[in-house]
Structure 1
Amino acid sequence: MTARQGAVAVSSLVPARMDRLPWARFHWMVVVGLGVSWILDGIEIQLISASGYKESLGMSSAEVGLAGTVYLIGQVVGALVFGRLTDRWGRKRLFITTLALYLIASGIAGFAWTPWFLHVWRFIAGMGIGGEYAAVNSAIDELIPARFRGRVDIAVNGTYWGGAMIGAVGSVFLLDHALVPEALGWRIAFFIGPLLGLFIIYLRRHIPESPRWMVTHGREAEAERIVDGIEASVRAQGKTLAPVDPRRAISVVPEDSVSYAQLVDVFFRQYPSRTLLGVTMMVTQSFLYNAIFFTYALVLQNFYHLDPSRTALYFFPFAAGNLIGPLLLGPLFDSVGRRRMIFGTYLLAGSVLLVSAFLFRQGVLTADTHTVFWCVSFFFASAGASSAYLTVSEIFPLEVRAQAISYFFAIAQVVGASGPLLFGWLVGEGTARDPLFWGYVLGSVVMMVGGVVALVYGVDAEGKGLEDIAEPLTKAGRAPGRDGEVVETA
């Protein structure tokens, strides 16, 4: 760790003051201003899937597929690059930069005249969204009071599916050549996200830097002023603030950055079981999601002989189940607890999928009933997947929080990319059900394994301050504790 020259220990009550705040308008601003990232990602993925630009740009099927691939690769690169910068330069600077990058790149992609031009700017737009995952998750966790953190993080991550539905509805109208000229519709569609983002980037200018991050980077006085302002706005709403226990103060020695060698030490020596937990949760949910989502249309067409135009309509109930799950189940992650809810959602998602696999094999399902099973399975899976992002963003020290998110996200994206390839091969032409049956069994088991690992190695983080879950690396006199140890809050 690179300490500031002449740095001395600073004692601060900033984290305790932030955690004892009642829910207020400030927190709604944070949720709306930062949480839109997942809505934008959902819009982008759905627009890419619609591929309305194929004929206009004279693209082959391979080139259309590449448009999706470069966007996902861009997400991985962006998460890795901007994740490190988020920990070094601050949350706010990066959640402004990454959104601006997305806005510019997506807008420029709408002016594409050749496939390569589209691919370049889709890659850059993906970088912006990938960076958002690291910067925004870090900021939300550090700005939201501990007792609300679980439900907020899970609900916000689940709004991806709200964005996907917006993108799907937009595509239905904009890609209807009877309503909008073919060469124009897909270009307009690419501006849906940026137009929404323009309002959000204005809102984000009023969201402060994370006071927690500022304390560990030698800006204690600024952090105090920000918290003073938040508290004043809360009091102005007629809300009462509980007194802060002075024993909750933390003492840190400000630092500038964490070296890669220190990152290795954090993940593999100090917190090896948490690293295993993060990797397992992220990879298992990514594999299941990508495997089912990117091939469900093939299943409906090849096994149930649905026309492609009708297949598109089945996306909406599927997306609705994914959206409703985190919204309804999110509060339970704060009350029932992280470990039990993660285990339960992963187990139930896998179990429902397993039941549907046997029914599919017996040929007793229809397109409608199979979709119902997908909806129920992903009602739980969506909450579980959102809890994976919550987990990796809260169980590591503040100084490496954004990088932890970015590394686990990147690993999950890379491994998860194998799901569509495998399931696409198993679906084939729809002539045999056994191969896909075993694919569903594999997906079920993979998800259940994620739940079991969470039950064994999970961290009971509900209601606890981030500094109690994982002490800051900059804490004065810090001696790395046992992996998985959580200090109970007073």
Structure 2
Amino acid sequence: MAQQLETIDTRIPGRLDRLPWAGWHWMIVVGLGTVWILDGLEVTIIGSISDRLTEGASGLGLTPAEIGLAAAIYVTGACVGSLVFGYLTDRWGRKRLFMITLLLYLAATVATAFSFNPIFFFICRFFTGAGIGGEYAAINSAIDELIPARHRGVVDLAINGSYWLGAAAGAVLSVVLLNESFFAADIGWRLAFGLGAVLGLVILLVRRHVPESPRWMFIHGHNDEAEELVDGIEERVQRETGKDLEPVENTLTIHQRHSTGFGTIIKVAFGQYPKRSVLGLSLFVGQAFLYNAVFFTYALVLTKLLGVPGDAAPWYLVPIALGNFAGPLVLGRLFDTLGRRAMISGTYIGSGLLLVVTGLLFQAKVLDAVALTVCWCIVFFFASAGSSSAYLTVSEIFPMETRAMAIAFFYAVGTGLGGIIGPLLFGQFVEQGIGAVAVGYFIGAGLMIAAGVVEIVLGVDAERKSLEDIAAPVSAQQPAVDSR
């Protein structure tokens, strides 16, 4: 029987936002946020083993251009997965989808390890990307709706930045697995994908304990269950912290709905919030081109253009990955204090200017592998904080009913434009030489600087504000229309 829809008054958003930080919040961070480690592991492994996959002994024998194609296929899968699963996340709930998408990732990455020809490898990369893309929509929605407003910026940036812990782990594992003293040329790279599945299983065990978003529940007719869930969360937080919780008086009136149709989603994004839509696209295109272009092909730049041995190339990714993780970790709190607009524009423009300098030095052939890696560490310290803030931005500036779909849309379009074109171009640039690769760096710099300027003009001052104050739920603005 269908859930009965009502108009209700709820205090749940205020009750969640006023909670002190507790062990319960750490469970949310570990259960949901660690998916970025998986993505970092996937992207870095394929980048680190790319040179091995071009060898006939690997069992695949891909060309450098096909490595770029595999990267583009992975990103395409992520874009498709984010749209499909993003829509279902808003319709079916956060928890159901963040379990489904993780299971899809696990199945696809295990299948990748058994690839017997390029076509099968490409298919597996597509579905692995679909699982990860779906995770972005489901996870970002759930995290923002469960984490208190005053901690949302630093937590989101740190979680998105944890991608680089996976990247560092992937680089180190690749060094070992590519060593033919330990593993045959057609075995080591397969084990790399299998280890990603092992980590995914561990995350799955923790994630079983993460609850559904109470915000999603009360909008979709499950207000009694939502109240019971928040009661339990409050009891646990009080027990863990020993602090009494102050009462919450502010209420939100909600016209419940079963689902939100595509017409409403489009109307909200482009009719009600057109400037925010331009902002989201700008931030995603800039960071997606830069990151996907550089990291999917960096091992090829080292081996083909700078003479680094294939089994040593992954070591150069480790300091870059650590620099990327340090950026959000060190700068994250400033996004909640100095504010979104100043920090997002500063990190985008700053990293873009530093990238221009790196491109000029690389073009002049004054950088060897070590010097180029140092430059990347500096560039990505700032770029990583900016990139993480793109996910934070689109997850908090649109109404709750469209949040997952908004994340999915801007991720898919921005990543589709920047993340698919970038690897394809750079795969060709590597074959053409240093001058062509430098041109790619300049393109990435221009996109980052342009996005920073858009943030200055159109940025939303969302720091330390409740999600409902940044963008009122559609269900609070108008009576529900059942769009089942």
Q: Which TM-score applies when normalising by structure 2? A: 0.91
2:31 equivalent to 1:28: no
Q: Deviations over 1:273-331 (max 9, x none)?
A: 00000000000111122233334444445654444444332211211111111111111
Task: Report the more deviating stretch, 132-141 or 261-270.
Answer: 261-270
**How far apart, in 2, do the equivalents of 1:407 and 1:370 lie?**
34
Aligned letter for 1:33? G
Rounded to whole Å, the distance in 2 between the matches of 1:289 and 1:373 is 15
The aligned residue for residue 272 of structure 1 is: 274
- The worse-fitting range, judged by mean Cα deviation, of 371-380 and 287-296 is 287-296
1:190 aligns with 2:188: no
8 Å contact 2:3–2:221 — kept in the other structure? no
Instruction: Give me the whole-angstrom Cα distance separating, in 1, the residues matched to 2:155 and 2:171.
Output: 25
Q: Which moved more, 1:110-119 or 1:88-97?
A: 110-119
Tell whether the 8 Å contact from 2:75 to 2:126 is kept in structure 1 after alignment: yes
Report the residue type matching 1:10 in the other structure: I
Hey, what's the Cα distance between the residues in 2 that align with 1:5 and 1:199?
34
141-150 or 229-238, which moves further after superposition?
Answer: 229-238
SS of residue matched to 1:10: strand
Indicate which of 137, 144, 150 corresponds to 1:141.
144
Q: Identity over the aligned pairs, expressed in percent?
A: 51
Tell me the CA shift for residue 425 of structure 1.
4.4
Q: Which of 222, 234, 239 matches 2:237?
A: 234
After superposition, the C-alpha distances for 1:40-59 in whole angstroms (9 at most, x for unaligned) are: 11111223231556634344
**CA distance in structure 2 between the partners assigned to 1:133 and 1:330 by the alignment:** 19
- Counterpart of 2:38? 40
Shift of 1:188: 2.2
Q: Which of 411, 418, 423 is equivalent to 1:420?
A: 423
Larger displacement relative to structure 2 (228-237 or 42-51) = 42-51
Alpha-carbon distance in 2 for matches of 1:48, 1:306: 17
Q: Distance in 1 between matches of 2:79 and 2:237?
A: 38
Give me the whole-angstrom Cα distance separating, in 1, the residues matched to 2:123 and 2:300: 28
**Amino acid across the alignment from 2:94:** R
Cα pair distance change 1:84/1:307, threshold 3 Å: same
Q: Is the CA contact 1:292–1:420 (under 8 Å) kept in the aligned structure 2? A: yes
1:318 paired residue number: 320
Corresponding letter in the other structure for 1:324: A
- Determine the C-alpha separation between the residues in 2 that align with 1:89 and 1:194: 26
Task: Tell me the SS of whatever aligns to 2:258.
Answer: strand
Matched residue, 1:10? 8
Taking the TM superposition and a 5 Å limit, the aligned residue runs for 1:55-454 are: 55-61=57-63, 65-246=68-249, 248-301=250-303, 304-416=306-418, 417-426=420-429, 428-430=431-433, 433=435, 435-454=436-455
Flag the 1:287–1:174 CA change in 2: closer, same or farther, 3 A: same
Q: Specify the alignment match of 1:459 in structure 2.
A: 460
The whole-number CA distance in structure 2 between the counterparts of 1:56 and 1:387 is 38
Q: Aligned-pair distance for 1:390?
A: 0.5
Report the CA distance between 1:15 and its aligned residue: 0.5
Q: Deviations over 1:204-245 (max 9, x none)?
A: 111110001101111111111111111111111243244233
Residues 142 and 210 of structure 1 are in contact (CA less than 8 Å); yes or no, is this contact kept in structure 2? yes
Does the residue aligned with 1:405 lie in a helix, a strand or coil? helix
Confirm or deny: 8 A CA contact 1:21 1:241 kept in the other structure. Answer: no
Q: Is the 8 A contact 2:44 2:295 kept in 1?
A: no
What are the ranges of 5 or more consecutive residues in structure 2 without an aligned counterpart? none
Is contact 2:156-2:388 (8 Å) kept?
yes
Q: 1:191 aligns to what SS in structure 2? A: helix
Which structure has more relative contact order (CA 8 Å, sep 6+)? It is: 2
Counterpart of 2:255, as a letter, is: V
Q: Distance in 1 between matches of 2:38 and 2:26?
A: 18
CA–CA separation in structure 2 for the residues paired with 1:171 and 1:300: 15
2:256 aligned partner, one-letter code: P
Q: Partners of 1:299 and 1:319 in 2: how far apart?
A: 17
Tell me which amino acid in the other structure corresponds to 2:410: F
How far apart in 2 are the matches of 1:171 and 1:307? 13
SS at match of 1:475: helix
Query: Residue 33 of structure 2 contacts residue 160 of structure 2 at CA under 8 Å; is this kept in 1?
Result: yes
Letter in 1 for 2:463: E
Deviation at 1:110, TM superposition (A): 2.4
Distance 1:75 1:18 in 2: 31
Matched residues in 2 for 1:291 and 1:140: separation?
28
Give how far 1:363 is off. Answer: 4.4
Q: Which amino acid is the alignment partner of residue 474 of structure 1?
A: S
Contact kept in structure 2, 1:99 and 1:132, CA below 8 Å: yes
- Listed as ranges, the gaps of 5+ residues in structure 1 are 480-490
CA 1:476–1:11: 2 relative to 1, 3 Å: farther
Larger mean CA deviation between 339-348 and 300-309 belongs to 300-309
Query: Which secondary structure state, in structure 1, belongs to the residue aligned with residue 6 of structure 2?
Result: coil
- 1:421 is displaced (CA, Å) by 3.5
Distance 1:103 1:383, change over 3 A: same
Give the TM-score normalised by structure 1: 0.90
Gap change, CA 1:5 and 1:292, over 3 Å in 2: closer
RMSD: 2.3
**Which AA in structure 1 matches 2:230?**
V
| Deviations 1:399-458, CA, capped at 9 Å, x for gaps | 01000011111112211122233345455544x64x555443332222111111111111
- Range with bigger deviation, 438-447 or 204-213: 438-447
Provide the rounded CA distance (Å) in 2 between the counterparts of 1:299 and 1:187.
Answer: 23
Q: Secondary structure at the match of 2:210?
A: coil
Distance 1:378 1:223 in 2: 41
Task: Please state whether the residue corresponding to 2:476 is helix, strand or coil.
Answer: coil
- Asked if structure 2 preserves the Cα contact closer than 8 Å seen for 1:22 and 1:241, the reply is no
Q: Match of 1:139, as an amino acid?
A: A
State the alpha-carbon separation in 1 of the partners of residues 196 and 142 from structure 2.
21
Whether the aligned pair in 2 keeps the contact of 1:302 and 1:429 (CA below 8 Å) is no
Comparing 259-268 and 270-279, the one that deviates more? 259-268
User: 2:17 is matched with which residue: 16, 19, 29?
Assistant: 19
Compare 132-141 and 191-200 and name the one that shifted more. Answer: 191-200
For the structure 1 residues 111 and 294, does the alpha-carbon distance in structure 2 shift closer, same or farther, using more than 3 Å as the test? closer
Contact 1:22 1:239 in 2 (8 A): no
Contact 1:73 1:126 (8 Å CA) reproduced? yes
